[in-house]
Amino acid sequence: MKRLLLISPLAAHSLMGGDFFFRMPHLGLLRVAALTPQHWDVHIVDEKVETLDLGQAADLVGITTMTPTAPRAYQLADHFRARGSRVVLGGMHASKMIDEALTHADAVVVGEAEGLWPRVVNDFEHGRLELVYQHDQAWPDLAGLPTPDWNRYREKPYLPVHFVETTRGCPIDCDFCSVTSAFGGRYRNRPLDDVMAELAGLRPFDGLLTLKNCVFFVDDNIVANRAYARQFLTRIADLGLKWFGQASMNIARDDEILRLCQRSGCVGLFVGFESLSEETLRSVGKRVNHPDRYLEVVRRLHDHGIGVDASFVFGFDTDGPEVFDRTLEFAQSAKLDIAYFSILTPYPGTRLHAQFKAQNRLLTEDWSLYDGARVVYRPKQMSPDQLLEGYHAALKELYRLPSIFGRLWGNGSYKNFFYPMNFGFRSSVRKLSAAYRRGELSVAASKPLATAA
């Protein structure tokens, strides 16, 4: 029996890397495992929850890459190739940096695995592995996706939540975001019967009753197609779920959708506010957002018992040093259940990266620093040190105890979900702040990853 090793590498520092309190499951590798023929022995290792045995044998190694994990992925790829394994790289970063990835891998999978991975495995079995596997013009059909086997994760110390997708793609195409180029400029919907069958097959995690039947819908905008969303939310209303998802601020203008979200068990939505400046939003292509409506959006969601996880980005060309206090004041006065702050990061493959590179504003292309917690470019209206210091000061203030209790007290959202979430973020922020104080998050402190041995 052939052995396949699938690896999710670890990014050291960031709220979504090694410092993050909550260990979230990796849906993408479950999907790749489900696409692999049954006569293969498949083993998944996620470095954020377990130690990778560098001495284990594998015929084929698949490694997924996000930009901040790319150096670690390359290190692991070099290691396993030296041991005689064939290595395939995939994921967002390798898909955008194909030539770079090929210097460390035998093959690169570009884009979504559906329609490609079975061909990769078949070619490997017949000794004809190609360098690059990518789709033609059409995006993969989402009908009939193989069901992820969550039993593979039962023994891993993940947060007890299932990840499920109902759509892919995003037409908004912001300058700083790579989702549109990765998943297409329109929303593709999975057949509702397929989604319902997947939900029906989920088995609650044992021993954590407060999170029983908890699902995170990973769609970039779960209510983008209103007709589809109405049918979907109506059908899941009797499943007894507690679910979290992502949506645009336009959801607050649709009373029917809000009622359906509430009835179907929605406890919270991630909303990409990004900035309180209309000028900023227009300059980066996020014209669907209107800051003068943000407070009303939060109020409407709270009125339906739905918490708000709002994201904001610091360091746009229109941002001056006042952006930190202004954003923090809004987060507290609006009683945001959670707010996620990040530093603007010009990921490869985005228009922002091309723009900053053409303007000679990039400070480094050490991808391990592209984690949203460090400054890798020259801002326009403040120094890199001001941006880094302001970011950490705002995060620290947001997750002080008075801020947590002040934001959550009396806002009508699902407290059993958001109090633990805030204290988890507080723990993460304290670790991140400690790394900042030690000088580990500045560009000048960049250090190569340890060599695998």
Nearest partner of 11 among 266, 366, 339, judged by Cα:
366
For residue 263, which of 288, 285, 243, 293 has the smallest C-alpha distance?
243
Q: Are residues 127 and 271 in the same domain?
A: no
Asked whether residue 184 falls in the same domain as residue 71, the answer is: no
Which among 232, 220, 234, 142 is positioned nearest to 188, based on CA atoms? 142
Q: What is the C-alpha separation between 193 and 197, in angstroms, rounded?
A: 6
Q: Are residues 30 and 65 in the same domain?
A: yes
Residues 129 and 169 both lie in one domain: no
CATH for 10: 3.40.50.280
Q: Determine the 3-state secondary structure of 23 from DSSP.
A: coil
pLDDT of amino acid 399: 96
Query: Residues 66, 164: one domain?
Result: no
Overall number of domains in the chain: 2
How far apart are the C-alpha atoms of 167 and 150, rounded to whole Å?
20
For helices 323-333 and 384-398, angle between their N-to-C axes, nearest 10 degrees: 20
pLDDT computed for residue 203 by the predictor: 81
Structure tokens of 267?
A: 């406890």
Q: Are residues 113 and 214 in the same domain?
A: no
Mean pLDDT, 10 residues at a time, over the chain (453 residues)? 95 64 84 96 94 95 96 97 98 96 98 94 97 88 91 88 87 69 73 94 62 81 90 94 93 95 95 94 88 96 95 96 97 96 93 94 93 93 96 96 93 80 90 85 50 33
Residue 112 falls inside a structural domain: yes
pLDDT at residue 4, as a whole number: 98
3 state DSSP class of 108: strand
Q: Do 366 and 242 share a structural domain? A: yes
- What's the confidence (pLDDT) of residue 5? 98
Q: Do 337 and 226 sit in the same domain of this protein? A: yes
Determine the Cα–Cα distance for residues 20 and 10; give it in Å rounded to an integer.
11
pLDDT in tens, 100-120: 999 999 999 999 999 999 999
- What does pTM read for this prediction? 0.91
User: What pLDDT does residue 157 have?
Assistant: 87
d(CA 308, CA 310): 6
Distance, CA of 364 to CA of 370 (rounded, Å): 9
Q: Is 258 found in the same domain as 208?
A: yes
- Residues spanned by the domain of 129: 3-134
Two tokens at 20? 């993050």
